[in-house]
Structure 1
Amino acid sequence: MLPGSAAPAAGSGMFVPTQTVGTVLCCICGVAMQPNPANMCARCIRARVDITEGVPRHAAVVYCPDCTSYLQPPRSWLRAGPESPELMQILLRRLNRPLARLRVSLSAAEFVFSEPHSKRLRLKLRLRREVFNAVVLEQTHPVEFTVHDRLCDACARAQSNPDQWVAVVQLRQHVPHRRTFLYLEQLLLKHGQASLALRVAAAPGGLDFFFGSRSHAARLVDFLATVAPVQTQTAKQLVSHDTKSNVYNYKHTFSVEICPICREDLIALSPQVSRDLGGLGPIVLCIKVTNAIALLDPLTLRVHHLEEKKYRVYNFKAALTSKQLVEYIVLDIEHESPEITIDGSRYQLAYAQVARVSDFGKNDTMFTVRTHLGHLLNPGDLALGYDLYGANLNDDDMDTAMMRHSLPEVILVKKSFAKRPRTRRWKLKRLPMEEDAVNKAKGELEKRADEYEEFLRDLEHNSDIRFQIDLYKDEDYRSEMASTIGDDVPTVPIEELIEDLSLGDDEEEDEGGEGNQHAVMVG
């Protein structure tokens, strides 16, 4: 049967026409091929056209070993990890100009493994260009970058003189504990806001962050304003002045003061503040602190969010803080209303009969109080609360509230669990911090260790706080050590933990696999 003729259909006498693709001979080698505008086969086109001609095969990149950043000409430094998408973008920017001049497009790029100590970065590019009237040709092109070590400006200043800083952020909070700074430390680590600091120093009542650039310090201040109610003041001091070039060098200081109201603080509102907040209180609990303060009336479950600017108008203080919590035992509980959810947290009004743990065996003093923890407490549980019955208060607003209103003897704050020695399958990262002589005192070290342990317990009890920070798996944890943990003590689910990876581990894995490549597609 001749090509292009009809073929008989199976099982019938009809013929179905078929279509065959015609072929032509290559004008160079005479091989049969499908027709194209060049009338040449792919092998002959590649032999006569090199689309990579003029594209550099060698280039250089400048790397700062102290801060692991790469120079983006003329003066920008960008931080990038080994074989990361950020590093790929930095390297490809060095080739944009020659590729655009030659009208060559980049379809794909990937890293080729090289020894970390060789100071070589190898890329394999997939280039595409149109040749011979709408004939598109693709070709692989290797490029090798030589890494030159050089300190960036900030690291050079730090190496020459560690005290040669340009801007400092003085973070302070006038409270008797450091819970706020422990939480902010984890936020800074998660978002990398303190990574550009030359050094971090502990100071009485707060932390000091030293930077080599004013913009880096201003970025930290802006971040703090989004996560905490802060008040910022700025100042600058003239260091030097070049009269010929009219250049002034200053040292900038950012004084950041955090609102002295913390989570779990008990606050007595003055009559004027209570009226301005819609009749809230007069006794309220601080349940959350972000860029606004969340105040809860534990007797009515009303919540009001107070912004920092509004707080500075009233400027009230905490009547009792978490350091003054007293442990109670719940004798009986009677629910008053169904459970409700406010701002993602659950509450339920109930009447609870409680007694101080310290009174057992001494007297029969019991209190029947209204609480917002009806969904958590059961008879026999322990709870922490503020003892208004026996507290010695030095607060005018609290005295006014006691005279005008019938306040409860106890304000329960949270459920308590037995404190016992335990091990944890998770851990937290810490900022490298310089301690002064005051903070190195024996009593201060023990106090800080107790506050850190209390902070870890808060993370186990409160999932809302854990959601904001990163918890890492502890590689030294052993399952047989978990026997010290009671069934009634909250623990962190394994699903919330992330792997603690380090650069050294990644390098060892790369060295173990031969020909290991990480492909990064360029759109």
Structure 2
Amino acid sequence: MEYIPKPREQLILCCECGIPIAPNPANMCVNCIQLQVDVTEGIPKHLTINYCKNCMRYLQPPASWLYCELESRELLALCLKKLRGLQKVRLIDAGFVWTEPHSRRIKVSLTIQKEVFAGTILQQKFEVEYTIGYQQCPECTKLAAKNLWKATVQVRQKVDHQKTFFYLEQLIIKHNMHQETTNIKVVKGGLDFQYANRSQAIKMVDFLQSVVPVRSKSSEQLISHDIHTSISNYKFTYSVEIVPVCKDDLVCISKKLSGSLGQISPLVLCTRVGGQVKVIDYRSLQTADISADVYWRGDEISPILSANTLKEFYVMDVEFLGKQAGKYALADVTVQRMSDVGKNSNEIIVRTHLGNYLSYGDTVLGYDLALSNINNKFFDRLDQDIVPEVVLVKKSFKERRKKRKQRNWKLKQITKDEGELLAKKQAQKKFDDEYEQFMNELEEDPELRQNINLYKDESAVKRDNGSDMDEEDDDLPEVPLEELLDSLDINDEMDQDLD
């Protein structure tokens, strides 16, 4: 039998190191290919994985939290999902490299393949190290929040200004109702008072019901439950809504309600908001009190114009009618719009309750119903003889206040978390303007400032018995010195009690 020799394999020299190798498209040995090409390029070698120590769960982006045992299939899948660039290679094998459980390190060994040249596939093994970073999951955050506050009182009023809350803040300071709060947050439309226990929140709700007409409701949320001891932890929320009626608002009521209030006119002015809403009929000086229960009982009361729509009028003549009730006196006043003064003779005769306050040449604020667009079902049903062209509200001191020096009194304020509500200049300017209007109302209304504390401002410029005042400012309303208290810190009373 003839022996046929086996064909000898043809070898070539590596183009890099020169050793004989079997022919391949790269014409390089395996070592040289690994030196020239890194198939792990683009795959990170160090990553961070978030872990919650309380519930022992790992974060699976974007917002899922999974419980995984060490060196489990679930944890390996979570680690591989965080690796970028694996879709460009072929994963051959993956497994954990043992590390100490307390080292906060997880190591994963990967074997991948990738085609580097035409027909040349390179396989490489490498390790990826994960650092465990501690992060609290949302459920554990809620559980920990019970140590900060357990009950919150959300106070809201559906109006476009904050003057009610300025007044409410002063009442809270006077009665020390802010001392038990853990935080006070300023939110859109009101305030949030946070407390460490439920009884303090209930006490705050009772206080609010005694000073302003409100309606309230409560809710609770389960935080945790121990199945062994049957002990549950709850967070309580009390929602308190103040009636959307403020001082100087023009209010329209239904004929049914006006009959139950002593046949008062359906169109009245709000003169005060305390435990009840006090209104007055500016044409007859008849007054009525509207409780919170009456207001929320049905849709029979609606404010149609608020103080931000007041217009200025010039007083031409005042004719007293001889009827008086308390500080108000009935009179027929002839006024002219400020835009018409000196231009025409368009005069308006108005019946008002401000007879004791107005005289020729004064400026008065009022609602111009003739030029107002009012959309209200009760107002649309009123007889035309009841609806006047103008409703006068209060005397104006705008021009005289511009010439006045600095006030000799100030108010205390509570430290609040304002967030980003006053970050914009427009919001801050609106807040400052409303606070200035509230200060003006305190000067004009002695009854309003009876319930709050006003303090001396030592840094203000003192005026001795009005010697620096101009004659035209003699009737400018001011707060008498005997009503002012010495400047004290809000927490001074508490410090004195401790002493």
Please report the TM-score for the alignment, with normalisation by the length of structure 1.
0.63
List per-residue Cα deviations over 1:356-413 (Å, max 9, x = no partner).
Answer: 112223332110111111111111111111111221211221121144x342211111
**C-alpha separation between the residues in 2 aligned to 1:392 and 1:427?**
38
Count residues in correspondence: 346
Residue 359 in 1 paired to residue 340 in 2? yes
Query: Post-superposition shift, 1:274?
Result: 2.2
8 A Cα contact 1:339 1:348, kept in partner: yes
**C-alpha separation between the residues in 1 aligned to 2:492 and 2:242?**
39
The residue aligned with 2:307 is 322
Query: Post-superposition shift, 1:479?
Result: 2.1
8 A Cα contact 1:351 1:368, kept in partner: yes
The residue aligned with 1:121 is none
List per-residue Cα deviations over 1:60-94 (Å, max 9, x = no partner).
Answer: xxxxxxxxxxxxxxxxxxxxxxxxxxxxxxxxxxx
Residue 408 in 1 paired to residue 388 in 2? yes
**C-alpha separation between the residues in 2 aligned to 1:452 and 1:288?**
18
Give the letter for the 2:260 counterpart: D
The residue aligned with 2:125 is none
Give the letter for the 1:497 counterpart: L
**C-alpha separation between the residues in 1 aligned to 2:286 and 2:206?**
31
**C-alpha separation between the residues in 1 aligned to 2:459 and 2:491?**
18
8 A Cα contact 1:235 1:252, kept in partner: yes
**C-alpha separation between the residues in 1 aligned to 2:247 and 2:488?**
32
8 A Cα contact 1:270 1:397, kept in partner: yes
Distance 1:166 1:504, change over 3 A: closer
8 A Cα contact 1:284 1:295, kept in partner: yes
Q: Which has the larger radius of gyration?
A: 2
The residue aligned with 2:402 is 420
Residue 430 in 1 paired to residue 417 in 2? no
8 A Cα contact 1:336 1:349, kept in partner: yes
**C-alpha separation between the residues in 1 aligned to 2:146 and 2:343?**
60
**Pairing partner for 1:487 from 470, 474, 478:** 474
The residue aligned with 1:196 is 180
Query: Post-superposition shift, 1:273?
Result: 2.3
**Pairing partner for 1:305 from 289, 296, 306:** 289
Residue 440 in 1 paired to residue 427 in 2? no
Superposed, 1:502-521 pairs within 5 Å as 502=489
Query: Post-superposition shift, 1:245?
Result: 2.1
Give the letter for the 2:391 counterpart: I
Give the letter for the 1:358 counterpart: S
Distance 1:504 1:233, change over 3 A: closer
**C-alpha separation between the residues in 2 aligned to 1:505 and 1:262?**
32
Distance 1:314 1:502, change over 3 A: closer
Give the letter for the 2:338 counterpart: V
Give the letter for the 1:445 counterpart: Q
Superposed, 1:160-179 pairs within 5 Å as 164-179=148-163
Query: Post-superposition shift, 1:164?
Result: 2.4
Distance 1:294 1:502, change over 3 A: closer
8 A Cα contact 2:146 2:235, kept in partner: no
Distance 1:449 1:503, change over 3 A: closer
State the secondary structure of the residue aligned to 1:184: helix
8 A Cα contact 2:317 2:359, kept in partner: yes
Distance 1:339 1:275, change over 3 A: closer
Please report the TM-score for the alignment, with normalisation by the length of structure 2.
0.66
8 A Cα contact 1:168 1:208, kept in partner: yes
**C-alpha separation between the residues in 2 aligned to 1:493 and 1:283?**
35
Superposed, 1:286-305 pairs within 5 Å as 286-305=270-289
State the secondary structure of the residue aligned to 1:393: coil
Worse-superposed segment, 358-367 or 374-383: 358-367
**C-alpha separation between the residues in 1 aligned to 2:445 and 2:193?**
29
Q: CA RMSD in A?
A: 2.5
Give the letter for the 1:225 counterpart: Q
Query: Post-superposition shift, 1:415?
Result: 1.0
Give the unaligned 5+ runs of structure 1: 1-159, 511-517
**C-alpha separation between the residues in 1 aligned to 2:374 and 2:202?**
40
Over the matched positions of the two proteins, sequence identity in percent amounts to 39
Query: Post-superposition shift, 1:480?
Result: 6.0
The residue aligned with 2:379 is 398
State the secondary structure of the residue aligned to 2:170: helix
8 A Cα contact 2:367 2:393, kept in partner: yes
**Pairing partner for 1:244 from 212, 224, 228:** 228
Distance 1:384 1:498, change over 3 A: same
Residue 332 in 1 paired to residue 317 in 2? yes
Give the unaligned 5+ runs of structure 2: 1-143
The residue aligned with 2:370 is 389
Q: Which has the higher contact order (CA 8 A, sep 6+)?
A: 1
Residue 455 in 1 paired to residue 433 in 2? no
List per-residue Cα deviations over 1:448-491 (Å, max 9, x = no partner).
Answer: 00000000000000000111100001111222698477333111
**C-alpha separation between the residues in 2 aligned to 1:487 and 1:262?**
29
**C-alpha separation between the residues in 1 aligned to 2:291 and 2:426?**
36
Query: Post-superposition shift, 1:275?
Result: 2.4
